[in-house]
Amino acid sequence: MTVDHRPRKRFGQNFLRDHRIIEAILTAADLHPADAVLEIGPGQGALTERLLERVDRLQLMEIDRDLAAYWQQRATDQLQVHVGDALRLDWPALLTRPPYKLVANLPYNISSQVLFKMLAHRQLFSCFVLMFQKEVADRLRAAPATAAYGALSVLFQQAFAIRSVVQVPPSAFIPAPKVWSEVLHFTPWAQPQVVVADEVFFHRVVKAAFAQRRKTLRNCLQAAGFAPAAIDRVANETGIDAQRRGETLNLSEFAVLGQALAPYAPAN
């Protein structure tokens, strides 16, 4: 049974109601009784109730105090409820018995921020099955030299194996959003396809390369503080032409570029 609650736009609430989509999410998560699951934004509970049928440990993060109060009344040894903004809650302090599976119809207004939270704490999880606006999903899975390819594509493909689960029409939600959505499945790489020695610096280089999309690597890196002489030296060492644009580089090339630029990192 789900809770009766009027969706609140300020929390990005679009409640999932399509049982076919819910079933696809559950199948993709490959749930077993011993699994521990985190759900962000349980809302009215259409997905939550099905999770409770399948796993022995479920933790919820809910910012809407009315909904949180309902779920707190349902709290048991099986169900824990954390009231607050998932972006501000301390995940390592709350998720103390990993690995977890993060399974959620994410509120649209925080989905991009949640991505970077899960990237930072991926060691706590065995997989993620998450709903995104289709535009975000396209960016996450995009190939080089395509319109959707960007920093998000590079950073998340370096960290995760990503696959599509199901595309979701607006009619699957109440209220219906104006855009299609897509469920994606993420698995942290056990052995990364591309090894990155300094992940923080790698992220810095990738974001710099896409900061001015129509500009060359040379211009983007100079704007980020790298010296022209260092850029030329790295281009000669790696064979990566500094006149190329960031969107033409594949994941391996970005890893090579990041490693070669590391000795020339400008001060923050």
Predicted confidence (pLDDT) per residue in 75-113, tens digit: 999 999 999 999 999 999 999 999 999 999 999 889 999
Is 85 one of the annotated binding-site residues? Answer: yes
- 103 in the same domain as 70: yes
| DSSP one-letter string for 162-218 | EEEEEEE-GGGEESPPSS-EEEEEEEE-SS-SS--S-HHHHHHHHHHHHSSTTSBHH
- 139 in the same domain as 229: no
- 83 in the same domain as 56: yes
CATH number of residue 160's parent domain: 3.40.50.150
Number of structural domains found in the chain: 2
Is 16 one of the annotated binding-site residues? Answer: yes
- 149 in the same domain as 20: yes
Is 239 one of the annotated binding-site residues? Answer: no
Confirm whether 4 is domain-assigned.
no
- Contact indicator for 11, 64 with CB cutoff of 8 Å: yes
- 234 in the same domain as 117: no
Confirm whether 1 is domain-assigned.
no
Nearest to 90 by CA among 58, 125, 61: 61
Is 236 one of the annotated binding-site residues? Answer: no
Predicted confidence (pLDDT) per residue in 4-58, tens digit: 555 555 545 688 999 999 999 999 999 999 999 999 999 999 999 999 999 999 9
Is 41 one of the annotated binding-site residues? Answer: yes
Range of the domain at 214: 199-264
